[in-house]
Structure 1
């Protein structure tokens, strides 16, 4: 039985969506073909570095390391520190070069993976009531009333945080920690995020979510997400 982990391609030319890559050797180099470089897995996108990231597999455990790529590598929307290995777990989403490459890491065997449903779950409120919208963590989408909205990394993290506290107040400081974990911390332990960045994020979210959701801004303090039923 095949027991090696795999990477399922969401996007990344020249691979088609749904293609998979076995993680079956100690190190697999991902990048772009150059005059003096030939990675194990090559993407044709110009934003991908010659040596972009590597995935290592040893004793049943996989990890990923960014190789100081120009446009960076992320796992679940969080940027990796160059040359610092990050342990992968089932369901992790790897994105590189401004999301022009997106891979889904799976540690299930092949038969299980083929039967595995997309990672999309119904939101459950804190009081146990099922809510009528879903979030797909792989595609970073929100679906409500058969309408699907695709979000960027930051937008999805922002929505995810608010959605888990639907109709409840969420501190601005908690949003900064959730959405910008890669930022330098200020003396109070909160990431250095300007008000203009938060305002721009809320503006984009309101445009994308249309009239399905309302983001209430409590000036200087935080946010509340409301569902317009």
Structure 2
């Protein structure tokens, strides 16, 4: 991680900040919490479900670590609840959610020229363009994918599913992991009538494939999960 360029949190949603606001992490320790009349945290939210001492982000030896401070409603990293006071290493593109998913943040490099563009860049060899490295790019603020010269827009749930599969390219992703990441507001153990179903996952995948003109190769391991392969660039 390049410590010469400050990293930041980009707000997907979370009052009082506007969507797309870049909150620069330029301190050794940045505290997150609920706004209070007395001395508050470094990054303060207007939400009753956020604890006054919710979480902290520490910069140490060139890396950033997120720690939940025993908050009442917890801190999730990529859909997985953090254990209190156990630091978790942050990587570019990680998503942080607070207040039962009502606060959504993306972690990544500070945008150049203070723009709101925050992207995850991935270069892969194209099977159709031997020796050429085309680029595909995920934008977690706008929920878009740029594939070669083309751009595709998604709903929030579609994007979260695609983002998870891309982050684990060529790795098996179970249905249970997908549910935790895409539907953090519907945790395991809740009323089965409200739990996310396999049909919902398949519906999201169908829409992702259709929106991208089937340029993405997502293998279905029947009854178990999915594997994202390299994109097909021949039609881009």
Deviation (angstroms), 1:134: 3.2
Aligned to 2:151: 146
The alpha-carbon distance between structure 1 residues 46 and 142, as it changes in their structure 2 partners (threshold 3 A), is farther
Contact 2:161 2:178 in 1 (8 A): no
Task: Choose between structure 1 and 2 for higher RCO, CA contacts under 8 A separated by at least 6 residues.
Answer: 2
In the TM superposition, what are the counterparts of 1:101-120 in structure 2 within 5 Å?
A: 101-106=104-109, 113-114=112-113, 118-120=118-120
* Distance in 2 between residues matched to 1:151 and 1:131, nearest whole Å: 28
Q: Quick check: 2:32–2:44 contact (8 Å CA) kept in 1? A: yes
Aligned residue number for residue 63 of structure 1: 65
Which residue of structure 2 aligns with residue 23 of structure 1?
A: 26
Give the corresponding residue for 2:11. 10
What TM-score results when the alignment is normalised by the length of structure 2?
Answer: 0.60
Q: Aligned with 2:53: secondary structure?
A: coil
Q: Which residue of 1 aligns with 2:90?
A: 88
Structure 1 runs not aligned, ≥5 long: 184-191
Quote the residue 1:155 is aligned against: 161
In structure 1, the partner of 2:173 is 175
Tell me, yes or no, if the aligned pair for 2:138 and 2:163 is still in contact at 8 Å.
no
Q: Secondary structure at the residue paired with 1:202?
A: helix
Task: Check the 8 A contact 2:145/2:151 in 1, yes or no.
Answer: no
The number of residue pairs the alignment matches comes to: 206
Once the two structures are TM-superposed, the CA of residue 83 in structure 1 deviates from its matched residue by 1.6
Q: Measure, in 2, the Cα distance between the counterparts of 1:37 and 1:57.
A: 22
CA distance in 1: counterparts of 2:198 and 2:84, whole angstroms: 27
Residue in structure 2 matching 1:44, options 43, 46, 52: 46
Give the unaligned 5+ runs of structure 2. Answer: 182-188
